[in-house]
Structure 1
Amino acid sequence: MPTTTTTATTTAPPVTLERVRLGAGGPLSDVRIENGLVTAVYPAAEAPRAPGERLRLDGRTLLPGLWDSHVHMVQWAGVRRRLDLSGARSAREAADAAGKRAAGRPAGELLVGYGFRDGLWPDTPGKGLLDAVTGDRPTLLISADLHCAWLNSAALAAAGHGDHPTGLLREGASMRAVADLTAVSAEVTDRWVREAGAAAAARGVTGIIDFEYADNITDWTRRARTAPPALRVAAGIWLPHLDPAIRRGLRTGQVLDTPGGLLQVGPFKLLSDGSLNTRTALCHDAYPGLAPDAPGAYGLQEVSPPDLVRLLRHASSHGIVPAVHAIGDRACETVLDAFEAVRCHGRVEHGQLLAAKDIPRFAELGVTVGVQPSHAVDDRDVADRHWPGRTHRAYPFADLLRAGAVLELGSDAPVAPLDPWLTIAAAVARTDGAREPWHPEQRIPVADALTGSARGRRLIRAGDPADLVVTDVDPLGADPGTLRRMPVHATMTAGTWTHRTPA
């Protein structure tokens, strides 16, 4: 996806930032901002007097604004209102937690939980287990990777799956059920999204790529016309909305006609396989415990290779950049083969499990890798169990960089929190601090993690869009714990402050 950003129309007053460190490890400087642009950079204390605010920053660090390059924004906005099941160590524990939350709730009110990881559970989720503790209260539990949902009988009936034998929906059926059952009014959804956007701005985020499973261009156009967002949004396009976008002449990177000019057309999102936790990531080797001829032994292929080539060619020929979800090593190989056949630029989302021979191909083919470093921390035990003996090439960020690949970092929120500092720290440390680093040879330097979180921006120069973040600590001198907690002093998008710490 193009990394250039069109400047938004802005009425923000000009400002001069005084005595700010220009980039991680950079010199003390003064920076002038007008009309949504960085218009001049001076040595500290040498900026001429000019109209507007003069903000003394006392040696804080000024960085390019941060992006989260993979978000499901509506899911993330709603997740803070849901039952957290990330700590459940078994299906029984998750069901009991749902039963306690369901007690006393109105019979027809949907209970939603999220964050379970059944790939390590000793028992199997099933609708009977949920029915026993939730009764006739519709209950929907969503896996951490968003590729699986566990429903009780009442929720299955509401989702049109009343005769489902297990209550465990996977992949497309799961995503449709979650979208249908959790739908609230546009007014409520948009309010939640605004709150989530403000929270992201407080962590230094100036833009996101939104891959919500929805008509994102329509939804974000409505939101932007009601209240301009606190950050730039590249609205992803799913297959049902691809041809309508093509008929409108939309192209990836095109800025849409909304107040503030912060909304742009995103890439075309396509799923090629599933996830590792759900055991649907498409791999070259059969999953442990499954016979090679067993159904699903190697994972799930969501789209055939010929159809993949056809869809990539169709989208790219109309100026819409493909972004293909691929997690398993076989899926990644198949997707790279398709990019090679079409000869178009694009993105692979996740690229978690790679064959060594495929690592150089990203750079050779001009395919960006959208990676989520927090997954390497959260899913290390799942990978050790379900991809044993090969985890040295799981989440191989350092190898990809050495091979010349372009990495763009994201969270996959709500799979991980929409907080770029947690993402950066995971890329740098390969641990959340509670355990020893997992495959530390795949750690990457702070400078590269910052670049991957800023869509390739390393410097702040005159003429750049004024998408900026001010931190109290220079990231280059921060330990991983400080990176995770990074104190963000202020955030600016298109020359407008979207977050400022009170004096």
Structure 2
Amino acid sequence: MASDDRWLIRDARIVALTTPADPEPVDLLIERGRVTRIASRLEAPGARRLAADGRWLIPGLWDQHVHMAQWAQTRGRVDLSATRSPAEVLERVAAALPTWAAAVVIGFGYRSAGWSTQPTVSQLDAITGDRPVVLVSGDAHNGWLNSAALSLLGVAARDEVLDEAQWFPVWARLGELARDPAGEHTAYADAVRDAAGRGIVGITDMELADGVPAWQERFASGIDQLRVRIATYEDTLDRVLARGLRTGDPIAGTAGRAVMGPLKVITDGSLNTRTAYCCQPYADDPSNRGTLNISGAQLTDLMTQAHAHGLRVAAHAIGDAALTSALDAFTASGAHGSIEHAQLVALADVRRMADLGIIASVQPAHLLDDREVTHALWPDRTHRCFILRTMLRQGVQLALGSDAPVAPLDPWLAMAAAVHRSPDAREPWNAAESLTPAEALAASTDGAGAVALGSLADLVLLDRNPLQAQHALEPQDVHERQDDSAAAAALLRGLDAVVTMVGGRITHAEPCLDLH
């Protein structure tokens, strides 16, 4: 993915984020993948030219938490979203079976936390017979398989769904079922092209499989439009250490666009499977506080090993008790990294995160899905969920993402959810925890700030100013300006990239653009 040598961008308006920017249109010269000159008028003989015509320029967007294989394949799966019971899921599967071409039927998107009864293998067997069927929950923390699929994947017969430690090894193997290399390549190519169209220049890929050889193969096949940080898990950590890779090291064969990412550790479960590990029990089950997938001592040992070998750690923690355990391990090990999700947070732990320099890698679109189930299962702690403003105010760095396929790979949706915490006409959920549009955008650009001299030429050109609905009130007054936040969110949701550039190479351009 070699960058184009030189570009002259004419008449672009730089959007001010964390640093000031000239409000008037300027010209920018791109050379060797960086912004080398900015002025009101530039001449650059021999450079290719892009006429911005007064459009708005921002740093390229990052999604800091993606399961790329699952996201790429989601569009080829039975859609189970918005189902309200096992019976509704079974109806959709039964309707899909006659026309489903693949030998193994895979569905995605059911959310069982609010169901009065939980699904069983025998229910699925009754409509599917001997044809293997795998259904993945919308939060990806459990799987509902029929007996044929259990047998195919070598899982002992059972009548319950698989979740957490039982489920994740199975989820990682879904790609083995009736592999279609050509179809997989097309799915990845489409997903990466769509991401570039939304202004995404980079992702952190949290896929469970060994991502280094997989991404080397994708880059070699021409799927090279994104920067990728490749996470590893405990079961593939030995391979990473054997390769001598540290976080940030470039991956051979990717022209430096793919680098080693963090060690990912899933310390607890999720709200929708009632497995997020909490300090207090779930409202509907006094005996259940969720599931801690790894003890504090084991987590500390694992973080210590990662830190000693130059790897950052991304610790999944959705429940407040899991987050406390993860922070204890960060403290004891000296490791650096992030809390992934940070959905339910003990207020005392916010300051600990800030003091330790731990990033809150959050997915705001989840709050749109989890509002009702939170009030049902955590009614006494809803005020401590998705506390974005509290974390930012106390000095915690925010990094936004999607957790695709749990939410769409769409940074504008994530930003809109962070700004106006409601998907519909209802009042925002905990409006005081909203971000301003500028804050949400800054948390989506990998710390780049405004485009400036020396900036990496990972750039996005927009038809509209994403901050034009930025309200005049101070951030702490956000609860008084719901109409403004709704307008700002609507604007953000309606944005897509006109041009996306990665390292000086255009990875997406609308046909209307004057490029020569």
Superposition TM-score, scaled by structure 2 size: 0.91
Q: Is the alpha carbon distance of 1:288 and 1:381 closer, same or farther for their aligned partners in structure 2, counting shifts above 3 Å?
A: same
Q: What is the alpha-carbon distance in structure 2 between the residues aligned to residue 202 and residue 104 of structure 1?
A: 31
Contact 1:10/1:35, CA 8 A, preserved across alignment: no
**Percent identity of paired positions between Structure 1 and Structure 2:** 41
- Contact 1:86–1:117, Cα closer than 8 Å, also in 2: yes
Tell me the distance in 1 between the aligned counterparts of 2:306 and 2:38: 40
Pick from 453, 457, 466: which aligns with 1:462? 453
Which residue is equivalent to 2:132?
A: 138
Q: Which residue of 1 aligns with 2:27?
A: 30
Alignment of 1:123 with 2:132, yes or no, is no
Q: What does 1:96-495 correspond to in 2, within 5 Å?
A: 96-103=91-98, 105=100, 109-166=103-160, 168-183=161-176, 184-292=179-287, 297-478=288-469, 479-495=488-504
Structure 2 gaps of 5+ residues are 470-487
Superimposed CA distance per residue, residues 151-201 of structure 1 (whole angstroms, 9 cap, x where no aligned partner): 1222222122342132x0001322222332443244542332122111100
1:461 aligned partner, one-letter code: A
CA contact 1:153–1:162 (8 Å) conserved in 2: no
The aligned amino acid for 1:78 is Q
Q: Is the 8 A contact 1:71 1:410 kept in 2?
A: yes
Structure 1 position 298, deviation (Å): 0.8
SS in structure 1 of the partner of residue 113 of structure 2? helix
Checking the alignment, whether the CA contact within 8 Å between 1:236 and 1:268 is kept in structure 2 is yes
Structure 1: how far apart are the matches of 2:135 and 2:504? 41
- 1:259 Cα deviation from its structure 2 partner: 4.1
Q: In structure 2, how many angstroms separate the alpha carbons of the residues matched to 1:477 and 1:309?
A: 46
Q: Whole-Å Cα distance in 1 between the matches of residues 119 and 385 of structure 2?
A: 27
Aligned residues of 2:189 and 2:223 also touching (Cα < 8 A): no
CA distance in 2: counterparts of 1:414 and 1:104, whole angstroms:
24
Which amino acid in 2 is paired with 1:243? D
What SS class does the counterpart of residue 106 from structure 2 fall into? strand
| Deviations, residues 358-415 of structure 1 (Å, cap 9, x unaligned) | 1111110011111000001111111111111211110100000001001110000000
Question: C-alpha root-mean-square deviation of aligned residues, in Å?
Answer: 1.6
Q: Distance in 1 between matches of 2:98 and 2:124?
A: 13
Deviations 1:64-91 (A, max 9, x none): 0000000000000000111111110111
Go from structure 1 to structure 2 and tell me whether the alpha carbon gap of 1:266 and 1:89 turns closer, same or farther (over 3 Å shift).
Answer: same
How far is 1:97 from its partner? 0.8
Single out whichever of 230-239 and 147-156 deviates more from structure 2.
Answer: 147-156
Partners of 2:44 and 2:72 in 1: CA distance: 43
The answer on 1:41 being equivalent to 2:38 is yes
Distance in 1 between residues matched to 2:273 and 2:264, nearest whole Å = 20
Tell me the distance in 1 between the aligned counterparts of 2:213 and 2:233.
Answer: 12
Aligned-pair CA distance for 1:104: 5.0
Aligned-pair CA distance for 1:242: 1.2
Q: Which amino acid in the other structure matches residue 358 of structure 2?
A: V
Which has the higher mean CA deviation after the structures are superposed, 308-317 or 97-106? Answer: 97-106
The residue matched to 2:508 in structure 1 has which SS? strand
Give the secondary-structure state (helix, strand or coil) at the position aligned to 1:373. coil
Asked if the contact 1:228/1:260 (under 8 Å) is kept, the reply is: no
Contact 1:92 1:123 in 2 (8 A): no
Give secondary structure in 2 for the equivalent of 1:475.
coil
- 1:287: Cα distance to partner? 1.2
Equivalent position of 2:480 in the other structure: none
Distance 2:103 2:80 in 1: 19
Deviation of 1:132 (Å): 2.1
Aligned residue for 2:365, secondary structure, equals helix
C-alpha distance in 1 between matches for 2:210 and 2:175: 16
> Which moved further from structure 2: 350-359 or 19-28?
19-28
Aligned residue identity for 1:491 = T
Segments of 5+ residues of structure 1 without an aligned counterpart are: 1-8
